[in-house]
Structure 1
Amino acid sequence: MSAATQGRTPALTGPQKCAVICMALGPQVASRLLKRLAPDEVQQVSYAITTMPSVPQEVVDAVVTEFRSQSKAADSLTRGGMQVAHRLLNEAFGEAKAKVILEQVPASGNETLRRLQRAAPEALAAAMRTEHPQVVAVVLAHLDPVAAGALLGALAPELAADAVFRMASLDRVDPALLAVIESSLGDRVGVTLAATTEALNGPKVAAAMLNSSVKAVELRVLEGVTERDSAVADSIRAKMFTFEDLLRIDNKGIQRILRDVDSRELATALKGASPELRQHVKSNMSGRAAEALDEEIELLGAVRVSDVEAAHARVIEVVRSLEESNEIVMPARGGAGGGNDFVT
């Protein structure tokens, strides 16, 4: 075993070493091992597998040697990831139980991304003030739309527009680039970015982020992107969704959305909405629920446009989540509005 390998192997936790063994053994043999573990141990090993996309062969050899076994892996890298974890668990416990276990396993990189998303937008903006716009684009692409929208509003207008323009051109982020960005931002922000080779739909990510921004930021950024390349701006607008676009969702979809939206949130979001949209929503509620909604809207009185827009953003988040899970069919379209005036 090389000195480098000796230095790396002790850094692995017990569950990680077990994960390496499972990945090296393959589903059929590894399933026998998993069956002998306690439920909490299975979950720990499953999490380790999902967070280890690849393991160098020298590390596999070191771990296998430690367990007095032989590595049968033919490739230079033993592959992990969610698919491998699912295959191993399915072999050991069956499809139903495997699904339950994996649902309890945090998705790869979620914790580090949550740390990034919890950081104050102003702090992130300050840390990226001197960064290249491409770096800012990658960071924005790795935040959820709400956090990205907040960060976008804290950036200088020129940097924000440039970053969104570059984000719209992203289709995949090299893990090596993420490592460089992590090194650059780590000391100042105290977070890491999760490496991923998953494909990115740049315009769609940019559209979701702008939908979660206040309207003034959305319009300003789109104007800046248009100045750089009108075709890119159009590709973003084509994937954007505004609150009024609920009119284009069918009755079944509206009914599904209403199950996940708080009544007060809905009332706030409908302040100032078109009569057609209000009717579309109410026509998918019981008569009593529709009356209660009208009363709640009336009782709200004057509401800041910024509060209405925030409610719109939260409803849109619900819509996008349901679209991602294929529970509704959602059209994509852009729109306007906004400010700190009041809707009465």
Structure 2
Amino acid sequence: MTSLTLTRPQKAAAILVAMGKPSASRLLKFFKQEELKALIEGARLLRTIPQGDLERIVAEFEAEFTEGAGLLDSADRMDTILNESLSPEEMSAIMGEKKFEPAPEGPPPIWPDLEKVEPARLGTFLAGEHPQTSAMVLSKLAPQTAANVLLTMEKPIRSQIIKRMVTMANIPDAAARIVENQLRASVLSQKTTRDTSVGQERVASVLNEMAKPELDELMQDLEQAGTPDLAGVKSRLFAFDDLPLLAQKARVLLFDGLSTELVTLALRGAPAELTESVLSAIGARSRRMIEAELGQGSEGIALADIMAARKTIAVATIRLSRQGAFELPSTQTAAEAA
């Protein structure tokens, strides 16, 4: 008889198949991995089971089954039950197959690299995109980075982006991937631009250490020599004497974070126009204190100390500009010329 030629796992597999997916699925959770593997291997050796043989198998387990089990393709049915009941990881573990590994999800996230891009450059790119896209990008960046980028944009565009950031819901993965691919191709792939920016930054750091007369002379020599990317270097240069060229709003922001002692020392011996441009950006009380100190003259004050104070203010201005708080005068001039 057929029942006598079947192994115990094959008989169990036949019964599970006859029970149907809902009941079999509930029972499968109580089997050990070794038992499940035996069931699968047994089922794959089965093809069809005559009704009479199936009834004898059922009798051995002393169970009752609904009518109509009939002729069954046991292997296919068992695979269907298992696949719908167990996860891919569980199936792999049971069958001793290669450890389950999720499919690769594509390139790694671009956001850490995007945060290294200069705020002004990223802001320029996003200003040309739809506000909803720009809002999505900025929402993925660190808060400080996103703020620096927003400060480089025009107010109307900035307001539209912030409005969308406030109301933005969860972003579908497919949409996020499209935006990431666009950023990867249009922003992060511009290696030449990034490398040039690093070189410009390095040269500007050196030139900013020079006094104004020497710096002006050197820049004239570089222009005559046709030095490439000189405009990028100029956009990173700033000296204390350039303060009158800085926008009033930028000067207010700058001096709000500096001590009156430092400002007083830097203004000793400064031209009247330069002094006024500084004092006009300072509160009335602090201005009176500084003017009183300057009225006592600069006798006994070392010139080196004065120049050091001026250098400190120039460095603070450059730092705020790099953070996206405002643009340096040279950057604004270059933009107007373009």
| TM-score tier (shorter) | 0.3 to 0.5
**TM-score, length of structure 1 as denominator length:** 0.37
| Structure showing greater Rg | 2
Relative to the length of structure 2, the TM-score reads: 0.38
